[in-house]
A = this chain, B = another copy of it.
Amino acid sequence: MQAKNPTACLLVIGNEVLSGRTQDANIRFLALELGKLGIPLREVRIIPDIAETIIGTVNEVRAKFDYVFTTGGIGPTHDDITSECIAAAFGVPWEPHPVAFPRMEASYKPGDFNAARQRMATMPRGAELIECAISAAPGFQMGNVYVMAGVPRVMQSMFEWLGPRLQGGARIESRAVYAIGLAEGVIAAGLEAVQKRFPDLDIGSYPFYRPTGNGVALVAKGPDAAAAEQAIAEVTALISSLGKVPIQGEPPEV
């Protein structure tokens, strides 16, 4: 990938992913959406609901990447500590948000906007809201850190609003070819030569094991679609030269 694309890091915050209770569904969604925006995801960290860990990790990665996205830990319960940790990371007070607080209060019946729910409208001073069409509780932005919900449908609703407002780079293009019966060890040398001819592309080799047959998928990624196409054309010729049948695209999911 080229240096001009801004970089992103995702923090998945929550004991439930680390314990295996929950199968994460946010990483792939954000990876694909950010790729479309030309903001390649360069690192993901899944961390527990421990204040010291969240604060330290946020401060480390917000200095290292152009964008930091977080999912999880902004609900009303005791284990939802992301918001106050972001305030601590930025060294600002954690206080009722001037827009979110009155708006959430108005959305509840009198008496129902209790202390737990008020936490969801309490944010680091200076936070900008990330609006959400399906929940009264918004996410927020502090500097280059974008704080979103962990529940996939709520996170996706927030990202639907946020995505078009992010400053991206060239879209990451992807081209692929695959072959049944191909072994990685057989194509490796030729593939490395193609990678060397296209240093600005990421060329990856991914074996698959399917009831319909085992094989390998070869994928070229980068902001330059013509280069990706050319590289895959060369890989296609390589597959043919090895006596296998190249099929354009990714192998179908089974």
Contact = CB atoms under 8 A, between A and B. Distances in A.
A76 interface: yes
A165 interface: no
A18 B205 CA distance: 15
Contacts of A22: 28, 206
Interface stretch (A82-90, A112-120, A224-232, A237-245): A112-120
How would you classify the secondary structure of chain A's contact residues: helix, strand, loop or mixed? Answer: mixed
A172 interface: yes
A108 B219 CA distance: 27
Given A44-B45, A206-B16, A188 B76 contact: yes
A78 B195 contact: yes
A127 to B, nearest CB: 20
Interface of A: 12, 14-24, 27-32, 35, 40-49, 53, 75-79, 112, 114-117, 120, 151, 153, 172, 174, 184-189, 191-192, 195, 202-207, 209, 219, 221, 250
